[in-house]
């Protein structure tokens, strides 16, 4: 006997939110590349103090990696959600874990202390958006909108 998995049509609102997730994470990819490949002199030219630029340049490599996981996991997950694929769950879950690890790293490495409350608030918003995208994908999966 052949079994089939039934999926229902995903509402346009979910696709719109996924598209916003794509745009948000594309912006994040630009931010990541600006951090991952910039020299301290470039960072100072972009408005950081020399001390802040030196801190960024000295961050351990794992922080750049988890930032990349957050950004590119979110980008892939949002794309997968937009086309109704269940793999979005894994990608968005990895994205959230990457951003949580980045948040912890920013605490441990003194980034929040060097950049202050605005930087912390931005990363809190990033974590909240990553959480929202994952919850949206979980909701879509429960509604059988993903295949």
**pLDDT at residue 67, as a whole number:** 98
Confidence of residue 8 (pLDDT cuts 50, 70, 90): confident
3-state class of 47 per DSSP? coil
What mean pLDDT is reported for the chain? 94
Predicted confidence (pLDDT) at residue 13 exceeds the cutoff of 90? yes
**pLDDT at residue 6, as a whole number:** 52
CB atoms < 10 A from the CB of 15, how many? Answer: 16
Give the mean pLDDT of 79-97.
98
Which residue shows structure tokens 């301290």?
Answer: 40
CB of 81 closer than 8 Å to CB of 92: yes
Give the mean pLDDT of 10-23.
97
Report the run of H or E that residue 27 belongs to, with start and end.
Answer: helix 12-36
Give the mean pLDDT of 102-122.
97
Summarize pLDDT for 114-142 with one digit per residue, the tens.
999 999 999 999 999 999 999 999 999 99
Summarize pLDDT for 46-59 with one digit per residue, the tens.
999 999 999 999 99
Cα–Cα distance, 145 to 84 (Å, whole number): 6
**pLDDT at residue 7, as a whole number:** 62
pTM (two decimals)? 0.91
Predicted confidence (pLDDT) at residue 20 exceeds the cutoff of 60? yes
Cα–Cα distance, 9 to 84 (Å, whole number): 9
Confidence of residue 2 (pLDDT cuts 50, 70, 90): low
């Amino acid at each position: 006997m052949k079994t089939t998995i039934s999926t229902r049509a995903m509402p346009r609102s979910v696709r719109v939110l996924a598209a916003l997730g794509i745009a948000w994470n594309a912006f994040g990819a630009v931010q990541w590349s600006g951090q991952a490949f910039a020299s301290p002199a470039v960072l100072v030219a972009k408005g950081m103090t020399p001390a802040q630029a030196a801190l960024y340049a000295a961050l351990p490599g794992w922080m750049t990696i988890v930032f990349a996981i957050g950004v590119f996991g979110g980008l892939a997950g949002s794309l997968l959600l937009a086309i109704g694929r269940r793999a979005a769950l894994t990608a968005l879950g990895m994205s959230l874990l990457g951003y949580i690890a980045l948040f912890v790293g920013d605490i441990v490495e003194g980034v929040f202390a060097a950049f202050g409350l605005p930087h912390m608030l931005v990363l809190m918003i990033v974590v909240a958006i990553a959480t929202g995208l994952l919850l949206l994908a979980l909701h879509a999966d429960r509604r059988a909108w993903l295949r």
